[in-house]
């Protein structure tokens, strides 16, 4: 009889092993739910947010063929690093030509000054042009008078035909006459020297532009040209993602009074679902000066170095400000 009672008691006894795990799961979910509700009330979520930064497109200031590149996409660069080089041979050839022309013009200018000095010395002795002509005209007039008295014809007989030698002499003299006509004055030479010097300065500048350097720290995001390709002036060659980026987040106007400078921010990026990026509120707009109907934008700065992550400007993110 006692054995039958023991069996009935065992049937009525609660099976804790069977229900322990389900009950524990319910309790944990309940606690997590309460924690989530409480934690959510401590954060303000942005309606939309994007990463911003000065994404820089590096352009060529010179033209020519790319002879060497020193970077690849995804490579980290520092300000002043050499990115690529353009063939400078064309500019160097034109520079040598301009420098030779400049030396020739300076010699020509020196000769022109010397010639003017000689003429000025002659003018000291014979300052009056009429006086110089009259001094040489008296002997000629005396000869004409004596020739008339004795019946001598001073005029030479005209020649009927020009000899071949005379024709060739005239032909040879024509280039010399043209040279005299094209002779530049010192003022014209000085102006030409100024033009050549300006050209030389520009050519030297173009030669320096054949080496393209990184204007800022960052990561090469896009490489638009390769070795052997021809580039024009102002053509983009690479794009650099800056290391210093920030988040521009839009909030409802009702939420803005609860946001303060220096508050901690959690940024979630879809490309890195298991990572929380930390930041702080950097700048809050003044609603009194608001002129548009758009939601106010709050600037959020990262407080840690996330340069190892590809945080590209324009990337959408989720933002929560901790109250």
Q: What is the CATH number of the domain that holds 219?
A: 2.40.50.100
In a domain, residue 196? The reply is yes
Question: How many domains does the structure of the chain reveal?
Answer: 2
Residues 174 and 228 both lie in one domain:
no
Q: What is the mean pLDDT of the chain?
A: 79
Mean predicted confidence (pLDDT) in 267-281: 93
Q: Which residue has the higher pLDDT, 285 or 66?
A: 66
Mean predicted confidence (pLDDT) in 56-76: 94
pLDDT tier at 242, thresholds 50, 70, 90: confident
| Most confident stretch, 37-41, 112-116, 148-152 | 112-116
248 has a pLDDT exceeding 80: yes
Q: Which pLDDT does position 181 carry in this prediction?
A: 43
Residues 112 and 98 both lie in one domain:
yes
In a domain, residue 142? The reply is no
Residues 93 and 234 both lie in one domain:
no
In a domain, residue 29? The reply is no
In a domain, residue 261? The reply is no
What is the per-residue pLDDT across 157-189, written as a single tens digit (0 to 9) for each? 555 555 555 555 555 555 554 544 467 888 899
Q: How many helices (H) and strands (E) does the chain have?
A: 6, 15
Q: Which pLDDT does position 155 carry in this prediction?
A: 53
Angle between helices 89-125 and 186-209 (to 10 degrees): 160
Residue 255 has a CB neighbour count (10 Å cut-off) of: 16
Residues 217 and 111 both lie in one domain:
no
Judge contact between 224 and 38, C-beta under 8 A.
Answer: no
pLDDT above 90 as % of the chain = 46
* Both structure tokens of 10: 């065992």
Nearest to 295 by CA among 308, 306, 284: 284
Q: Which pLDDT does position 263 carry in this prediction?
A: 94
Cα–Cα distance measured from residue 100 to residue 95, given in angstroms and rounded to the nearest whole number: 9
Query: Which domain, by its residues, includes 80?
Result: 56-86+212-241
Q: Which residue has the higher pLDDT, 197 or 146?
A: 197
Cα–Cα distance measured from residue 181 to residue 168, given in angstroms and rounded to the nearest whole number: 21
């Amino acid at each position: 009889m006692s054995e039958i009672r023991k069996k009935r008691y065992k049937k009525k006894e609660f099976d804790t092993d069977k229900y322990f795990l389900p009950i524990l799961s319910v309790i944990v979910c309940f606690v997590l739910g309460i924690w989530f509700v409480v934690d959510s009330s401590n954060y303000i979520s942005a309606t939309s947010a994007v990463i911003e930064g000065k994404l820089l497109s590096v352009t060529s200031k010179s033209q020519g063929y790319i002879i060497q590149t020193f970077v690849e996409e995804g490579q980290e660069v520092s300000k002043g690093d050499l990115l690529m080089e353009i063939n400078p041979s064309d500019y160097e050839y034109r520079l040598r030509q301009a420098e030779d022309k400049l030396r020739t013009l300076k010699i020509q200018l020196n000769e022109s000054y010397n010639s003017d000095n000689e003429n000025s010395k002659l003018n000291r002795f014979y300052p009056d042009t009429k006086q110089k002509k009259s001094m040489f005209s008296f002997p000629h007039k005396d000869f004409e008078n004596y020739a008339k008295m004795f019946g001598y014809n001073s005029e030479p007989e005209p020649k009927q035909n020009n000899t071949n030698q005379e024709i060739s002499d005239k032909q040879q003299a024509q280039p010399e006459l043209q040279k005299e006509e094209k002779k530049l004055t010192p003022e014209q030479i000085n102006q030409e020297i100024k033009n050549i010097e300006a050209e030389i300065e520009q050519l030297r500048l173009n030669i320096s532009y054949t080496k393209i350097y990184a204007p800022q720290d960052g990561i090469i995001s896009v490489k638009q040209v390769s070795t052997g390709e021809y580039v024009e002036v102002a053509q983009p060659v690479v794009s650099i993602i800056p290391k210093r980026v920030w988040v521009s987040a839009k909030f409802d106007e009702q939420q803005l009074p609860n946001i303060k400078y220096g508050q901690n921010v959690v940024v979630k990026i879809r490309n890195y679902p298991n990572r929380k990026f930390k930041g702080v509120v950097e700048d809050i707009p003044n609603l009194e000066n608001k002129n548009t109907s758009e939601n106010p934008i709050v600037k959020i700065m990262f407080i840690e170095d996330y340069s190892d992550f590809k945080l590209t400007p324009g990337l959408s993110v989720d933002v929560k400000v901790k109250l």
